[in-house]
Amino acid sequence: MSAVNMVLTMSELHGCVVVVTGAGRGLGAALALAFADAGCRMIICGRNEDALRHNAAAITERSKRPCDVIQLDLAAAESVAAAVATIRASHEKIDVLVNNGAMWLEGRSTPYSAQEIMGTINSAVSGTFLFVQGLLPQLNKSHRPDIVTIGSTSSLPTAALRHVSVPFYAAKRAQGALADGFRQQLLGTPVRSIIINPPDLDDISTLDPEWDKSPSRQKGERATNRDIADAVIFAVTRPRHINLSITVDADQGGVFS
Ligand SMILES: NC(=O)c1ccc[n+]([C@@H]2O[C@H](COP(=O)([O-])OP(=O)(O)OC[C@H]3O[C@@H](n4cnc5c(N)ncnc54)[C@H](OP(=O)(O)O)[C@@H]3O)[C@@H](O)[C@H]2O)c1
């Protein structure tokens, strides 16, 4: 993308109200900063309030705009209901909702606890569905509403299990169905449902010099959270009549490695 187009893309998001789940660390924290850098008013949600407050302070210092912190455990229906109520009480409209939060569960040979299984499935599927459902009235008040779900290459129907657990694999596959289901349910309305499927990522802090070097990585290297933040911003700034599903692949940590 040319420098001029990049500036136009970023200015298109200026003033948008954006909600990101799982924004206390990793990709969610990077996404929140990327949207804030594009001029958005951020609402960041997650379980770890200290981490969220730290990230909100960094966003406010950099953007000079307030950033709301919302306590949200996607695996607990009451927590989702409370978060939805708080956001609805303070924001009449939401332009972009990013479903990033989802519990990771690595594959292993020993049994998983019920809590691990329920936490993995509920955070990615039930809690995410409830959160979207609760915030749809706010999205419907936007002139450019987008729901972005961060899936995984495990969300692809042909994905191999690799190193992930079966519950995580099933949860991510279900997230693919969630995004497709919303796309069908919302046909003919202004709301788009977009899915971005990352491969295994190198998690780079936005303050690390490696963040700026990510776009010059070569084929054979792993993808980074910066690559996913860029893909999300690209997807939400496409013309409104199209709807992108993006699978970000890489030689290392990708679909076939
Ligand atoms: N990192 C990768 O290689 C990779 C690859 C493919 C897809 N993804 C997807 O990208 C998204 C972000 O993951 P990540 O890269 O930052 O690594 P991660 O270690 O998988 O982080 C998971 C994120 O989800 C949040 N989360 C987990 N359970 C939650 C719950 N019950 N309620 C609310 N938030 C919850 C975590 O917040 P806490 O701080 O509260 O734990 C954290 O921010 C996830 O959907 C993940 O599946 C990541």
pLDDT tens digit sequence for 141-192: 999 999 999 999 999 999 999 999 999 999 999 999 999 999 999 999 999 9
DSSP line for 174-214: HHHHHHHHHHHHTTTSS-EEEEEE--SEE---TTSHHHHHG
The CA-based angle 63-66-68, given to 5 degrees, is: 125
CB of 240 closer than 6 A to ligand 1?
no
Cα separation, 92 vs 244, whole angstroms: 27
Residues of the chain with pLDDT under 70: 1-10
CB of 226 closer than 6 A to ligand 1?
no
Is 193 inside a domain boundary? yes
> What's the CATH number where 50 sits?
3.40.50.720
Number of domains the chain is built from: 1
Q: What is the pLDDT of residue 3?
A: 55
Is 252 inside a domain boundary? no
CB of 247 closer than 6 A to ligand 1?
no
Is 21 inside a domain boundary? yes
Cβ pair 22, 49 in contact under 8 A: no
Q: Which atom of ligand 1 is nearest to the CA of 26?
A: 16
Is 182 inside a domain boundary? yes
Is 129 inside a domain boundary? yes
Provide the domain limits for residue 9: 3-247
Q: What is the pLDDT of residue 54?
A: 97
Element (H, E) at 84: helix 77-90
Q: What is the pLDDT of residue 114?
A: 98
Element (H, E) at 149: strand 146-150
The CA-based angle 124-165-129, given to 5 degrees, is: 10
Is 253 inside a domain boundary? no
Is 257 inside a domain boundary? no
CA of 122 to the centre of ligand 1 (A): 13
CB of 167 closer than 6 A to ligand 1?
no
Among 20, 47, 162, 175, which residue has the most ligand 1 atoms within 8 Å of its CB, making it the best to mutate?
A: 47
Is 100 inside a domain boundary? yes
Cβ pair 44, 20 in contact under 8 A: yes
CB of 200 closer than 6 A to ligand 1?
yes
The residue whose C-alpha atom lies closest to atom 18 belonging to ligand 1 is: 104
